[in-house]
Structure 1
Amino acid sequence: MSQSQYPCAGCGANVEFAPGTNVLKCPYCGHETALESSGARIREHDYLNFTSLPRKPIAQLAKHVFVCRNCGAQTESDAISDRCRFCSAPVVAELNARDLVVPEAVLPFVLDKRQLRESLGKWAKSRWFAPSGLKKVTEAETAKSMYMPHWTYDSNTVTDYQGQRGEHYWVTETYTENGETKTRQVQKTRWYHASGTVARSFDDVLVTGTTKVTQKHLDSLEPWPLPNSQPYRPEYLAGHETLRYDVEPEHGLEAAKQKMVPVIEGDCRQDIGGDEQRVEQMHTQYNDVTFKLMLLPVWIACYLYAGKTYNIQVNGVTGEVAGERPYSAFKIAMAILTVLVVIAVIIGLYSIGKH
């Protein structure tokens, strides 16, 4: 297997991509090498053409075997980029489009470890009923920087729908209360059949391409500044682990369609008009479907509390934090006790006032 390592022009060690810059930096002597523009462009791939190509399922592809040029050791991994298990030198696989879908775009890391600590510190301070030890989560030296594979899908959709339009009207209703006859206005709704056609174009509907991380946490890191993405080049991966996708493009498309459905239903409701709407049927055509694979930057941190490990993910561009957190039973108990004391005081003052 072909692979890339980038020796430092100053000392010969392996350089790494420095977050928030456009340079490869040596972690030892500090020498920097600027990444010149490659002239490449981010392309979208025609989905129908792709499905007609012969290929192996991703689960059948062998792991990469990296041979470190620094120490000569071998590292077996299904990641696209990793570190040598012996000397920690960064290694990046050279991808073959005949075996798997090659990334078209990468959103480079912006947050370095100092900024990561700041983001984790703000997150820890904002957690209600968190144990005091949660502040240790800012000790991010063991945090890992990882590029996560994501699919994006574009489509021009046309949807025929059937539904009902509700129009409100008011009637006067008579009722009796305490022996007295009264009237009130009551809202009613008349329903009318409605049907029509709506069209919408979707651009870059994002779907996670890996099952190896907690999906809900990864989704919580959105939105991503996708316009800042760069054409894929392996140099951006140097020094950072990159997961290989294990969600096939076909499965990703179905997930993308599920994201499109609520938006299309909203268009149908707007088209129906009236005061209320019921959408009973939708038949959507997905035309001109294109897709691409892109890599998004995530810091992965772990926090050990009371013998349990909590996982935390941080958006490597915006600093948004998502993840699990422990709760302090003592702080919760004290909060409940405080509330009970306040209630008791209020009741006591009320009783005194009545006498």
Structure 2
Amino acid sequence: MEEEANKVVSERKKSCVNCGAELKYKPGTTQITCEYCGHEETIVQHQDGLQELDLIPYLDEMGSQSHSEEIMMLHCKNCGANQHIEENYKSLHCVYCTMPLIIEDAYKEDWILPGAVLPFQFDQKKSHQIFSKWVKGLWFAPNNLKKAALDPQKTKGLYLPYWTFDAQLYASYTGQRGDYYYVSVPYTTKVNGKTVQRTRQERRTRWTPTRGNVNGFVDDTLIKASHQRKNAIPQKISNWNLNALEAFNTSFLSGFVTEKYTIPLKDGHLSSTKEAEKIAITWAKRDIGGDTQRVNSVDMSLSEETFKHILLPVYISAYQYNGKKYNFFVNGQTGSISGNRPYSFWKIFFFVLFIIMIILVLVMLSK
């Protein structure tokens, strides 16, 4: 294991055989390339595939160094993010809040090596095109918003840390099965000034006590592994396809920022256990059947638990409009975008005024 960790460290940076410049990952490919002379090399993938680690030894703090390494970290004092940035990265600014990072403040820290990475599928230029299209489709946006200034140096490709957990789940449950039936209920109503008695169908539920057992494999429960006090990654863009994960290779990280996990494995496991309980309840309801279900109690156990530390891609940037900064985020795999934006007061004002005028006209015509 120690030899493997040392091998990973030595592979972090690769130099171009032609000009000596650093080779960087080319999004959407399995190539690393030199941006100066165009030389390309293929990323050699491990034959073992994605590696799952046994959970219990790590939670017991045994063997936790067998799959770890030391990396240089920079801590943002403004927003708290911990980022690994290569020494030759052009712009030392925090990817979240854009505050300057001081290279002299860098420190070394151990981390559990990632077991998989989801490589970026497009480059920074494409992320700017997605931004431009997004801006043009915004409702109530100022007319000149499309002239918003994007600073390329503050658009960063960031690998976000996540934990994934696998386990065999077994649970026994007690609950109730609900089956719908309908009854005729009489009621009175007015028809042409006369009281008329009629009936309507109302739904009722017949509840039956039930109990049972469910079991199955819980695969890749995804748990966020870092805190963002400011500019948190929106849930809207967190829709990665984990089937496209690649076995971890440091070449995929070259040219990008990597955030270190700040949520410990132990806390991530607690969150995944809560997610497993939700899964157990869903399975129990499916097992109960009927039209509706109640789950009164669940006694769940997990076995054969494994985990991975994985890295997922997102572009983070900011744009200036009327002297104010707005942030946006682009999923580095799917291209989905989310961000904050300005609104045009006058567009909203005239739209509301237009709606009021329509309502007034309809009221006048109804008279």
Output the TM-score relative to the length of structure 2: 0.79
Deviates more, 1:251-260 or 1:170-179: 170-179
**Distance of aligned partners of 1:184 and 1:218 in 2 relative to their CA distance in 1, 3 Å threshold:** closer
Decide which of 208, 226, 239 is 1:192's aligned counterpart.
Answer: 208
CA distance in 1, matches of 2:343, 2:295: 42
CA distance in 1, matches of 2:48, 2:70: 29
Are 1:6 and 2:14 matched, yes or no?
Answer: yes
CA distance in 2, matches of 1:149, 1:137: 31
- Residue 187 of structure 2 is matched in structure 1 by 175
- Residue 110 of structure 2 is matched in structure 1 by 99
CA distance in 2, matches of 1:346, 1:163: 53
SS at match of 2:269: helix
- Residue 28 of structure 1 is matched in structure 2 by 36
Deviates more, 1:16-25 or 1:209-218: 209-218
Deviations 1:23-70 (A, max 9, x none): 22222222223323443532101111222234899xxx997279xxxx
Unaligned runs of 5+ in 2: 1-5, 75-80, 93-102
CA distance in 1, matches of 2:137, 2:149: 13
Decide which of 331, 346, 354 is 1:338's aligned counterpart.
Answer: 354
Give the C-alpha shift of residue 295 in structure 1: 0.9
Give the C-alpha shift of residue 181 in structure 1: 3.1
Unaligned runs of 5+ in 1: 67-76
SS at match of 1:295: strand
Contact 1:83–1:241 (CA<8 Å) still a contact in 2? no
Q: How does 1:272-291 map to 2 (within 5 A)?
A: 272-291=288-307
Q: How does 1:19-98 map to 2 (within 5 A)?
A: 19-54=27-62, 64=72, 78-84=82-88
- Residue 26 of structure 2 is matched in structure 1 by 18
**Distance of aligned partners of 1:304 and 1:258 in 2 relative to their CA distance in 1, 3 Å threshold:** farther
CA distance in 2, matches of 1:37, 1:170: 61
CA distance in 2, matches of 1:56, 1:44: 14
Give the C-alpha shift of residue 307 in structure 1: 4.5
Identity in percent:
31
Contact 2:163–2:223 (CA<8 Å) still a contact in 1? yes
Give the C-alpha shift of residue 342 in structure 1: 1.6
- Residue 73 of structure 1 is matched in structure 2 by none
Contact 2:45–2:247 (CA<8 Å) still a contact in 1? no
**Distance of aligned partners of 1:331 and 1:257 in 2 relative to their CA distance in 1, 3 Å threshold:** farther
- CA RMSD after TM alignment: 3.2
**Distance of aligned partners of 1:192 and 1:216 in 2 relative to their CA distance in 1, 3 Å threshold:** farther
CA distance in 2, matches of 1:113, 1:283: 48
Are 1:260 and 2:276 matched, yes or no?
Answer: yes
Amino acid at match of 1:157: L
Q: How does 1:147-296 map to 2 (within 5 A)?
A: 147-178=159-190, 179-212=195-228, 217-296=233-312
**Distance of aligned partners of 1:117 and 1:289 in 2 relative to their CA distance in 1, 3 Å threshold:** same
Deviates more, 1:229-238 or 1:135-144: 135-144
